[in-house]
Amino acid sequence: MKNLLVEKNSGPNIIVKVRDIAIGDKEPVFISGPCSVESYDKMMAIGKELKNIGIHILRGGAFKPRTSPYDFQGLHMEGIKILHEVGKSYNLPIVTEIMDARDIEKCIPYIDMIQVGSRNMYNYTLLKELGKSSLPILLKRGISATVSEWLYAAEYIMSSGNSQVVLCERGIRTFETYTRNTLDLNSVAVIKENYRLPIIVDPSHGTGKRELVESMSLASIACGAHGLMIESHICPDNAVSDARQTVNMDTLKSIVNKSKVLNDIL
Amino acid sequence: MKNLLVEKNSGPNIIVKVRDIAIGDKEPVFISGPCSVESYDKMMAIGKELKNIGIHILRGGAFKPRTSPYDFQGLHMEGIKILHEVGKSYNLPIVTEIMDARDIEKCIPYIDMIQVGSRNMYNYTLLKELGKSSLPILLKRGISATVSEWLYAAEYIMSSGNSQVVLCERGIRTFETYTRNTLDLNSVAVIKENYRLPIIVDPSHGTGKRELVESMSLASIACGAHGLMIESHICPDNAVSDARQTVNMDTLKSIVNKSKVLNDIL
Amino acid sequence: MKNLLVEKNSGPNIIVKVRDIAIGDKEPVFISGPCSVESYDKMMAIGKELKNIGIHILRGGAFKPRTSPYDFQGLHMEGIKILHEVGKSYNLPIVTEIMDARDIEKCIPYIDMIQVGSRNMYNYTLLKELGKSSLPILLKRGISATVSEWLYAAEYIMSSGNSQVVLCERGIRTFETYTRNTLDLNSVAVIKENYRLPIIVDPSHGTGKRELVESMSLASIACGAHGLMIESHICPDNAVSDARQTVNMDTLKSIVNKSKVLNDIL
Amino acid sequence: MKNLLVEKNSGPNIIVKVRDIAIGDKEPVFISGPCSVESYDKMMAIGKELKNIGIHILRGGAFKPRTSPYDFQGLHMEGIKILHEVGKSYNLPIVTEIMDARDIEKCIPYIDMIQVGSRNMYNYTLLKELGKSSLPILLKRGISATVSEWLYAAEYIMSSGNSQVVLCERGIRTFETYTRNTLDLNSVAVIKENYRLPIIVDPSHGTGKRELVESMSLASIACGAHGLMIESHICPDNAVSDARQTVNMDTLKSIVNKSKVLNDIL
């Protein structure tokens, strides 16, 4: 690895702007919302709560990569438009996953940041296309990707012309079955020490259990993460997907408040 | 998992035809060729040798998913056309990887089987498109995919309309660094015992070391694999990619001959 | 790693003698018996069957390392003596696990080979003591040991004075949950290619499922294993421990016979 | 798992006393010292610094479990006595690893807490003996142990009569090679949520790189760890073992101070 764009010697640390929200600066950024966009009404109700809590960016899945082809695959463009409406109503930028390079262009008018999901981190076709996009990219770590492979995935985007990349640690696959994934916070310290890109943490996928999300959120901020992405819902038990790891609004509020206090003393 | 198309209770075992070559029947099928298509001349020289040895299907990479964007990415359509020419000259069906759903249509006239590489096993966009294709699919196991996830990836293709799917075990990622991957032959026994799809093994990626390829080829046949996919080259040390795991023609010949003898006594 | 006793450049390949049975020579050696010694009567009934089938060495656990302290821990010295009686009756050498260095001396008169279990592969205290013993050692690979660490464990025994060490691949821990462990047959090829010690395979622990044991036994022989260790029982479903991976006598007979035929053509 | 001694329903949370130091209470406990006891003079110099920094317990290895039998194996009883002298001089309790059940009795007069190293977490012989000891036990997680296996290892000690057990997360083995181990802080949250035992973290082994130790120390405290065990040395580059992950006294001081501030706001 020599003279990569991701490396510190290629320039100053990168701060990614999602509309007026800066990721990679001093204040931690909070991204939240349900795993899947379920309906306009629920999304509006959730958006309102998130805004009150101080969430900066709204997330929600419209194109859902599911292990089984028979599981709910998302609302697609209808979901994208719902996100857009809610974002407009509450002045919240939108981040959502795109899985198909052919969907990029038609989604761009509605969203503010594009997420590459774990399953698509090695999808170099998609990465190269995103490199030509003008939107910032949230690049989740592959389910079993090494830090080096993850950085090269960012490099694919950056070398195609888009340096607005935020890394997102979301846990890796190990032998441990107690938690859904093993949240690898070492990676946060590694990125902060050696690379230019901002890094945030997704403790929802990183643990798979809602009762562990607050602890791991604080751990993430303590080791230097630039933000958190947390699955939340007004009624977590009824969430269409990932219910087990989705927190309610009270827990989310507590996480946001404690994270800010913690960040201030670091 | 209930009533999946991959399951034995959904129908008889599937035999996949690649032109006149049957995968999943009694005789093991041998697929071989270089990691990357390098040039017309080299590919012709390799094709000639493979035909003499009794290889059934010619492989070669034209679209190469490389960890680094700065590594050789393949000859793309030029490589596809070279493969086609060599296949025609030696009456060898062609299998090659496609990474981008948008490339399927233009490649179909030149090839006989489409490979889904390990990095794209979770690329559901691609899988669904391949399900609409008329060509048989070689579905490699994801780098860290469970057998269950792999079967669901096949289910994505099958439920989209294409049941001509061959599984390919190619090793999984573990803590062991002595070998490039850990070849999981348990998966062969599991698939044969419980599922309808043919399964072959790639001992080249499964070991990462050419001196281990023959032993693991024989082990694969012994536990019931329907065939082998082996990286070979007329001059392995000069191979543009994967040189360390590429065997020469003498070793390949030995593997084919011993595998046949072994298969006959099972 | 330079000039280690395990390396080929330190001397000829090692053939380990367990009474008159040679492990590491041309003929594969078959070790079998129940996970736990349960009673004198059952052990005698099993021993009789094993002798008829052509098993060379009788195994059975008297000191059982169990994950829970509340599970059956074995019959201890009573079990050792039962093994001894059965071995004497059917002229079968005995291999059994010892977990405590303080038990070695008192067990030696009753047994012919000492097994180091997976959980104790890193127990250097035990390894050093076994290095002073006159009995051959069966050294199972640690649950998540690299090949290199496993070889160093053998080196601990050998450098303490005992070079009669047989390696036993028994599967490693990975993310895959379909099988109990991932049987790493690459390790067999690696050991045969580069090191002096005989290596056998335990497909019972390597798969955790009895219906997969025969396939993986044949794969093991095909890639060069010097023998097999297989958990068997006259009534597998009633086995006190490891029932799910224990084969019956018919399956065991089939494995032995097919393995011999396969070994002859290699 | 029902009615285990480690479970919350078996009694109140356990606070372990190492002389007058309470582990499991509100204040985080700091354990530090070199990987290996090297000499009396160096140990005295280190002890003096540690006392000044506010370290509560002195660590140092006298019995060293090394992968290779040819590496430095520790000073054994000489090392134990050095630890004792230094501890007496600076009023610091001593924790050190014991690998052989036969060494327990002779070490007890010199030390205050016994460490079970990662390689011996499955050494049930040793665990049962430690269960009969009157000293508190520091039980490191096995290199690839599940949380469940780790808890059962504690149960072995507790069911043998000693409930003074502190768990120590030290990273698990994964595919990632950037760091020596993958520090699994999820386990801290899991233990705190569901079990009675105190848990501390060893970020030195958990990362393997000294520049990552401070960040991961703070993350550990943030998710609720009851303390830290950190390898330190007055001259880390000259440490006989684990130099790469050993911090100097300035870094250690910074970790202690920041951890206290952080703990106060949680």
CA distances from A110 to A18, A92, A96 (A): 13, 12, 10
B133-137: average pLDDT: 97
Give the pair of three-digit tokens for residue C24.
Answer: 């590491």
Which of these, A209, A204, A228, A205, lies nearest to A218 by C-alpha position? A228
CB of C83 closer than 8 Å to CB of C60: yes
Chain B residues whose C-beta is within 8 A of a chain D C-beta are 144, 173-175, 177
Q: Give me the pLDDT at residue A117, please.
A: 98
CB of C188 closer than 8 Å to CB of C219: no
D57-62: average pLDDT: 98
Contacts of D41 (CB under 8 A, 6+ apart): none
Determine the Cα–Cα distance for residues D50 and D251; give it in Å rounded to an integer: 12
- List CB contacts (< 8 A) between A149 and chain B: 67
Q: Give me the pLDDT at residue A94, please.
A: 98
Averaged confidence pLDDT in chain A: 97
A83-95: average pLDDT: 98
Chain D interface disruption, residue of B118, B175, B179, B182, most D CBs within 10 A: B175
Is A119 within 8 Å of B120 when comparing Cβ atoms? no
Q: Which of B144, B178, B212 sits opposite C175 (nearest CB)?
A: B144
Is B119 within 8 Å of A124 when comparing Cβ atoms? yes
Determine the Cα–Cα distance for residues D118 and B142; give it in Å rounded to an integer: 31
CB of A227 closer than 8 Å to CB of A30: yes
| CA D225 to chain CA mean position, Å | 12
- List CB contacts (< 8 A) between A143 and chain B: 122, 144
Residue D23 above 70 pLDDT?
yes
Is D224 within 8 Å of A207 when comparing Cβ atoms? no
Q: Is the dihedral of CA A253, A257, A262, A264 positive or negative?
A: positive
D84-106: average pLDDT: 97
Is D155 within 8 Å of C68 when comparing Cβ atoms? yes
In chain C, at which residue ranges do the beta strands (DSSP E only) sit? 16-18, 21-23, 29-33, 57-59, 94-97, 113-116, 137-140, 165-169, 199-201, 227-231
Assign residue C74 a region: left if phi > 0, alpha if psi is -120 to 50, beta otherwise? left
In D26-183, at which residue ranges do the beta strands (DSSP E only) sit? 29-33, 57-59, 94-97, 113-116, 137-140, 165-169
In chain D, at which residue ranges do the beta strands (DSSP E only) sit? 16-18, 21-23, 29-33, 57-59, 94-97, 113-116, 137-140, 165-169, 199-201, 227-231
CB of C111 closer than 8 Å to CB of C95: yes
Determine the Cα–Cα distance for residues D83 and B33; give it in Å rounded to an integer: 63
* Model confidence band, residue A2 (pLDDT cutoffs 50, 70, 90): low
CB of C113 closer than 8 Å to CB of C137: yes
Write down which chains contact chain C via at least 3 CB pairs under 8 A: A, B, D
State percent of chain C over pLDDT 70. 99
D227-239: average pLDDT: 96
Averaged confidence pLDDT in chain C: 97
Determine the Cα–Cα distance for residues B235 and B258; give it in Å rounded to an integer: 22
Write down which chains contact chain B via at least 3 CB pairs under 8 A: A, C, D
D11-31: average pLDDT: 98
Q: Which residues of D90-113 are buried (b: 16+ CB within 10 A; e: fewer)?
A: bebbbbbbbbbbebbeebeebbbb
Give the pair of three-digit tokens for residue B1.
Answer: 């998992």
What is the ipTM metric for this complex? Answer: 0.96
* Model confidence band, residue B1 (pLDDT cutoffs 50, 70, 90): very low
Residue D167 above 50 pLDDT?
yes
DSSP lists the bridge partners of residue C22 as C17
A128: nearest CA in chain B?
B69
- List CB contacts (< 8 A) between B180 and chain A: none
Averaged confidence pLDDT in chain B: 97
D72-97: average pLDDT: 97
- List CB contacts (< 8 A) between A159 and chain B: 69-70
State percent of chain B over pLDDT 70. 99
Is B122 within 8 Å of A120 when comparing Cβ atoms? yes
- At residue B102, φ and ψ (nearest 5 deg) are -75, -10
A255-263: average pLDDT: 98
> What class, spelled out in words, does domain D29-260 have in CATH?
alpha beta
Number of C-beta neighbours around residue B55 at 10 A: 26
Which of these, A195, A141, A133, A128, lies nearest to A168 by C-alpha position? A141
Number of C-beta neighbours around residue D54 at 10 A: 12
Is B122 within 8 Å of A124 when comparing Cβ atoms? no
Q: Where are the alpha helices (DSSP H) in chain A?
A: 40-53, 77-90, 104-107, 124-131, 147-159, 186-194, 203-207, 210-222, 249-265
Give the pair of three-digit tokens for residue D152.
Answer: 């059962």
The string of pLDDT tens digits covering residues A96-145 is 999 999 999 999 999 999 999 999 999 999 999 999 999 999 999 999 99
CA triple D183-D185-D186, angle to 5 deg = 125
Residue A3 above 90 pLDDT?
no
CA distances from D75 to A196, C126, D83, D101 (A): 45, 19, 11, 18
Helix (H) or strand (E) holding A168: strand A165-169
Query: Which residue ranges make up each domain of chain B?
Result: 18-261
Is D174 within 8 Å of B175 when comparing Cβ atoms? yes
In chain B, at which residue ranges do the beta strands (DSSP E only) sit? 16-18, 21-23, 29-33, 57-59, 94-97, 113-116, 137-140, 165-169, 199-201, 227-231
The string of pLDDT tens digits covering residues D242-252 is 999 999 999 99
User: Which one is the CATH code of B18-261: 3.20.20.70, 3.40.50.300, 1.10.645.10, 2.60.40.10?
Assistant: 3.20.20.70
> What proportions of chain A, in percent to the nearest 5, are helix, strand and coil?
45, 20, 40
In C55-198, at which residue ranges do the beta strands (DSSP E only) sit? 57-59, 94-97, 113-116, 137-140, 165-169
The string of pLDDT tens digits covering residues A131-157 is 999 999 999 999 999 999 999 999 999
Q: Give me the pLDDT at residue D1, please.
A: 47
Give the pair of three-digit tokens for residue B239.
Answer: 């191979």
Q: Which of B182, B207, B218 sits opposite C182 (nearest CB)?
A: B182
- Chain A closest-CA separation from residue B14 CA (Å): 20
Which of these, C243, C187, C194, lies nearest to C219 by C-alpha position? C187
Determine the Cα–Cα distance for residues C251 and C263; give it in Å rounded to an integer: 18
Given the structure tokens 């490339």, which residue do they identify? B103
- List CB contacts (< 8 A) between D124 and chain C: 65-66, 69, 99, 119
- List CB contacts (< 8 A) between D177 and chain B: 177
> What proportions of chain D, in percent to the nearest 5, are helix, strand and coil?
45, 20, 40
Residue D22 above 60 pLDDT?
yes
- At residue D136, φ and ψ (nearest 5 deg) are -70, 155
Q: Give me the pLDDT at residue C1, please.
A: 47
Taking domain A8-265, whether its CATH number is 3.40.640.10 is answered by: no
- List CB contacts (< 8 A) between A226 and chain D: none
Determine the Cα–Cα distance for residues D225 and D266; give it in Å rounded to an integer: 11
Residue D2 above 80 pLDDT?
no
Burial class of residue C149, CB neighbours in 10 A (0-12, 13-18, 19+): middle
Q: Give me the pLDDT at residue D3, please.
A: 80
CB of C203 closer than 8 Å to CB of C220: yes
Q: Give me the pLDDT at residue C3, please.
A: 80
| CA A92 to chain CA mean position, Å | 15
* Model confidence band, residue C2 (pLDDT cutoffs 50, 70, 90): low
